[in-house]
Structure 1
Amino acid sequence: MTEGGEGLSLTDIAELAGVGVSAASNWRRRHADFPTPTTVAGQELFASAEIARWLDQRKIARNGLGPDEAPGTTYGDRFRRNGGAAAPAAQATATQTTPAAGREMVAQLWEIMDLLRGDLDRASATEFLMSLLYVRSTAPEIWRDVTEQRYWDDASLLLRSIPVHDLGPPLSIPDARTTLGGQQWLQVIQLFDQIDLAAADPGTLYEALLNSFHRDFGRRGGHFTPRPVIRLMTEILLDPRESSTVYDPACGSGELLVAAAQQGAASVSGQALNERSQRVSLFNIILHGAKANVRLGGPQVTDGAFTDRQFDIILTNPPFNLPIPDAALDEPWPYGVPPRSDANFAWLQLAVTGLKPGGRAAVLMPNGASFTAGANAKIRQAMVDAGVIAGIIALPAGMFADTGIPVSLWLLQRPEANKPTPPEILFINAAAENGPPNRDGKRLLSPELQDRIVETYHGWRDLGDSWRLDGAEDFSRSVGIPEIQQQNYNLEPQRYVGASSATTTSATFESVQRELDELTNRTDRVRHEIADRVSTLHGRASAEKRNVYLGDICEVQAGPGTVDRTLGHFVEAWDRLVLPRNIKTGYLSHKDLDTVQPQTAAKLTKYALKPGDVVCARSGTLGRHGLVRAEEAGWLMGPGCMRIRPSADDVDPTYLVHYLNSPEAQEWIKDHSRGTAIPNISTSAMKTLVVPLPPIAAQREIAAAVDAITIEIEQHKQAVAATMRLRDAIFPLTGAVVSPSMTNPKNSSSTR
């Protein structure tokens, strides 16, 4: 900022001047003398004194005056009366980080990371540093005590005593029984204590951690939304003059929740897909001085985290193209059951069901969601016919750090009762409006393009039938439902905005090609990651491992002989019973579950499962081992099953289940089973299975490598599906199609 005064965002200016965000954006875009902002902690802030003087030159129109404002009142007068000389507390405390300080902090973090990599995988090491930042920022007295400890056991005990809101003691702090050793852990504490937090506020340093290591959180619940896209989503839906409840059903790292809180939302809630995402999101929110309710859940209608509530606004960037839980397939989806292999239309339906009547949502989706066939096409049709889709915005490609798949922003709504269904859908084609690349080579969504999109949407929504394109036919268009029906409910903006059918088909072809290129790139990255992990472990796991009997490191227990139940009978309020058919390779299926009534369950408490247990069949089809996750805690092991519960601290459950599902272990189980017609294996035999047990850090690296291979398999499946869509586009692209008007081939003008 060129002159004194508190820093205000454009949204703050709009609120204090009593205008919409789009109006403030227009002031900035159309007037060359509008004050110039300064970037503070990654956000553009304007000097309040400069803004006040600029607004002094602009009188408020008579029809815009408030009841207590006399003719001649300027926006500057209103700005000052509303407190424009003082910034909101969230902005006033922001600390500017200089480039030199930023580079020094990152270098210090990397030095600490080098120490940790000997004992933790990179994602766990990053989360550990986030935990240290949380403790140092929120509990300075305890942090001071931690730095004064001479033994790591004492320091780690202090760290574990720090609770995080709604989580209890959540910090995953290692003990001294590790490769690193107690004194080296204390060295990590001392190095972290040397970072100058006065050079940056905790939220800024936390963002630096996320930016540096975001790839290790993956797209399964720990992903990044670029800041320009966050700004676009919040400015489209959030009005600082309204008190809105906001929800993100796939909150990832919590960046959308932070933005909503900073925009003045009345309450902010988020659903995390795993415990790591929950912790990371809560850290992010708390370190930015905000509050939020973050619970664990998934893409399910009845068993999600906030199925008991509805919200004014939903903002989300969910994981793309990932499978949904088996249990979700039997839930009451309002517009159709999504395919198991693709949760995209599960997230879209959840966004609608999570809204209050009259509520609105913004959901990021891969472009393929606009035109894919099969079950997704039927759901898309049902959503269009129900009037819950307000608009589709095709965004420029190449904006995301972790994916090059082109994306669109879906604007959804929940119609109010006794009101007519909206007759049109707004399409905005911003795909060709690429901004300049950043230093990582990713495209930026320019402020001018963001403002144009926001202004177009607000104009369309606020003016209704009187809205006109104003020369923007190649950018946006409001399309009636009958025309969309004629296009077989294809929702690609390129199909409706300034494009011919051939151009649209070509765009679809190019979009699928880009998706295939991205899948290839992602597969290459995963393959390199696997190679790096295996290279790091090569020789080390073999040299440091010990061979142990399964019975020495785990409790092995057989399930009950019989259970009083009705076969195939499921009652929601009763206890779930795991049978051999529910055991899959690596996980437990939520489909085809039996349940037992509470009186029976009370007699089976010794067979209760907890996270980290491994369940397998002991008769029939042997060899599949499923890991019990948090959502299956309390389920009961049924007849024909066996429970393997790690009893030693140096056994990683994920490593164990991967080893038990390996060809070596499978062959051993086959050789040691009894029976020919119905093979079976006893608990005493399973206890004699020899398990190779490297150090815990190596176990986690091996498990991560297997997980990476599993991801690669899923990406290959997606590539096959994309290739089939590419095949389907060949005939329309080449023009070798039958025109809808051609009912009799004999009347065609074509020649032989």
Structure 2
Amino acid sequence: MPPSSAQVTAAEISRIAGVTRATVSNWRRRYEDFPDPSGGTESSPLYDLEAVRAWLASRGHASAATPSEELRTALRLRAQSGGGTPEGLLLLVLAAAGRSAQELTAATRSPDAELAARAQRDAASASGAVPAAEAVRFQADDAAVLRALYTCVRDEGGQAALGVLAERELEDSAASGTYRTPAPLADLLVRLVPGSPARVLDPACGSGTLLAAAARRGARELYGQDALDVQARRSAVSLMLTAPDAAVTVRAADSLRADAFPGLAVDAVLCNPPYGVRDWGHDELAYDPRWAYGVPARAESELAWVQHALAHLAPGGHAVLLLPPATAGRASGRRVRAELVRSGALRAVVALPVGASAPLHIGLQVWVLRRPEPGGPERRSVLFVDTAADPATAAGRGGTAVTARTRGGSRSASLDWERITARALDAWRAFTESPDTFEGEPGVARAVGVVDLLDDVVDLTPARLVRASRAEVDPAELSAEVDAARRDLVRASKALARTAGDESWSAAGATAREWRTATASDLARGGALTLLRTQPDSARTRARTADCGSGGGAGTAARAVLTSSDIATGSGPTGDPVGPYDDTAPVVAVGDVLVRAVASADGPMVRVAGGDDAGALLGHHVHLFRPDPARLDAWFLAGFLGAEENIAGASTGSTILTVSPGRLRVPLLPLEEQRRYGEAFRHVHELRAQARRATRLAEDTARLLAGGLTGGQLLPSREGAETGGRGGDPPGRARPDTGTTLVGPSRQADRLGPPADGGVGTSRKESGDPVEHR
């Protein structure tokens, strides 16, 4: 057979035929007429695409690949044959999106030469809209890609085709470090701009997410610039598809070194600039007129972007930038920060929880700036908001905080964006309405005077400045909050003691009991249980949910997702339905047994779904075991599936241990005996849950006590001082639960000197009597 220019792997054959790779391997063994490899290696063979398609057709297997997957395969095959990916395809997407379905169908049925000529005319008609676009040249050899592109635009829309093209071009250009700004974060940044700005600029526009968010809120002139040609072209086409009524202008160049819009003054600048770039042009731009607030240091590229944004604002216009937290406190940026504060240009700094956007391991900050107006009012304070200080913002619907995870493990934080947005916007709107009378919210939002900020470091970190406002908490309110927390802790401690004291088991005797077991796979084959797992995030599942947005189908968009982290922390379903969730996605039911797919000592491995879990979508890295209640007790199953030795025996890997669900073993016992074990395992679960609750309440109570003592709202009493310094048990008159008496001082108390008797921390009112809150 002569060498073919179109060769596919076994994985691609499986996608074309809509089967698993194991099925393709089975075909190779069972059918002698299956096409022989035409290239590749013995371990990774390649097959002639046309021969494979002919074989599939002879067996009645029509192509099951989605249009976007067909386009992805066509692009790879064209690159494999040395054709490359013409940038004119981006222009063709834009032109094709304006054609009717009938016109696109007619194009796909044209002969190769006629199709190439038609596509060349279509692309040329849109050439003026895309930056850095070269002359378009299509040939008959491009017919497969052109047909796939027209079909993809017709069936899935221009954005789907654009995503495939940009994905390929970003790979070819080796452009790393390019991330999309999450949609809820982009919406927050736009909403921090007061009013409805008509002209908006993003000098590091990437894929155009921020400008698209601005268009949705009424912007009619969109200006973008990006250093990567592929990003600029993608942004231009995407914005024209998203906002067809807006005037879109996008340029490809480095905004700091080669500003494409000199002299442009807009109503708002939105930007998520690159972080930590040392080679940003410090030397050649030393005398640039944009540095009105001071020349940024070499390590302060972010402050160069801040001043670039301010330089493009009309007087009174606002700029909102997403920046790393180091920008707020690095010593090298102190002078520029001081001038931004002194001039009134900096209006607010909002701290976001960890995981809000890439890089996911740090908590980013949103800076809101306003270009001062000549003769405008004096700005005497800056707003600071710490949304990360609120545990509920980094938690899901269950109210338990979720730890941020790394991208590599697909364990990014699940955030309550509705709460984050409300916290930030409520504080910002109240501050803009009356900056001088803004009261803020202790521990969350505070307006700090300019004079107080202009110290030796000019540290603008919200967490530090918001914490300083604890002194404004009313002592009586904090004391009442501490008492309520202590009562909850006492109740939780008593519940834990009762649970721990309940003996629901007995010794087995002289020897341990031995089991006759079966694997979960055996039980599934016998119908005793069903094994389910969410399908991986493949190209096909991404395409299938493209028409329904990032949240999947209408039936999944409103559902929460039960994640592996939820099982570990004991929280309710906290995940968002992003990724390959459609109407066929597994849904959790009461009595399902859920097992984390990655073994670790971080929390429980297993959970029995209750009423709060019912209806949630099954998260990635979670295995679902659905037992037949007539044959298996759910709690019995969960107890043995989660046993340490069972998990260890069914796990593979070195650094990351992946649980193979079918290898987990379960004892074969009568149902009545299973139920006895199930009750014992349910008791163990309750013990673990009560211990977690008591630990959390103890931490909360200790945090409130420590914060009140250091903030001056709570003072130790004489009883606490007397009993705290003695060894042994405290006297009976001390509080049995804390050993101290908490004293809430008056506003004047923290200005008084030490007590007359030399004791520590017993403040008195003017009458001389301590004020005790019991």
Normalising by structure 1, what TM-score?
0.46
Structure number with higher relative contact order (C-alpha < 8 Å, ≥ 6 residues apart): 1
Bigger Rg over Cα: 2
